[in-house]
Amino acid sequence: MYLKHTPSIINPLAKDLVFDLPNDRKAIYVTFDDGPHPVITPEVLRLLDQHEVKATFFLIGKHAEAHPGIVGQILDKGHSIGSHGYDHLSGWKTNNEDYIADIARSRKSVDSTLFRPPYGEITLAQSKALKEDYSIVMWTDLSADWDDKYSIDDCFRFATHKVKPGSIIVFHDSEKARPRMLATLEKALEFYTEQGYAMEAIPMR
């Protein structure tokens, strides 16, 4: 069981984590986890190009290491990247030393100060150890595109029904998500545009 929308009450309880990026530009932040994938990520990039919007890709280090050309394409198109760890470890199931070392290893192929904890699972001690070097980016809304018990219409609803300026929305450029993600993303981008939202990349400070 997991929350599709992060309630605002959580934000003050996790001060080292970024759940949203409030702004007066009506900007939102579309993000992708688990790539880069040699086929799916370019498909996502084409959709983003068609809609003339920018996004942020949280890359698994070993995937980025295997596909550096895709990482280059992401950056060349004006999108931003962040680390999603090297081996996609859960912070709740990994000791602090190994967890921090895994993220440091990912830095060799994902040069960014943005980090998203795999599964959203990170301990207080881990976040305190990382906060000086990384912006730890969570989310406001999960599309749940990886979950095959949901339909495209379900995923679209999760990705859109509570969106507001500053929202951070998660999709996945992965094999597991592909059957739902691409169609959901296309519908969502059209919806965000119709609602007057600007879609921007999260700055890599």
pLDDT tens digit sequence for 31-84? 999 999 999 999 999 999 999 999 999 999 999 999 999 999 999 999 999 999
Q: What is the mean pLDDT of residues 114-123?
A: 96
- 51, 63, 79, 172: the active-site residue: 172
The enclosing domain of 141 has a CATH number of 3.20.20.370
Domain for residue 4, yes or no?
no
Domain for residue 136, yes or no?
yes
Domain extent for 111: 15-199
37 is catalytic: no
Domain for residue 8, yes or no?
no
Domain for residue 153, yes or no?
yes
Q: How confident is the model at residue 142 (pLDDT cuts 50, 70, 90)?
A: very high
Question: Above 50 in pLDDT, residue 15?
Answer: yes
Pairing state between β 135-137 and 27-35: unpaired
Domain for residue 165, yes or no?
yes
Strands (E), the chain: 17-18, 27-35, 56-59, 80-83, 114-115, 135-137, 141-142, 168-172, 198-199
Name the DSSP letter for residue 193.
Answer: H
Question: Above 80 in pLDDT, residue 12?
Answer: no
Q: What is the mean pLDDT of residues 14-21?
A: 90
Tokens representing residue 46 in the block: 């084409």
Tokens representing residue 19 in the block: 């759940």
Domain for residue 55, yes or no?
yes
Terminal-to-terminal C-alpha distance of the chain: 33
Domain for residue 166, yes or no?
yes
67 is catalytic: no
Tokens representing residue 180 in the block: 């739902």
- 33, 34, 145, 173: the active-site residue: 33
Domain for residue 204, yes or no?
no
Tokens representing residue 202 in the block: 């999260």
R_g over Cα of the chain = 16
**Cis amide prior to 12 (ω within 30 degrees):** no
**Structural domains of the chain, count:** 1
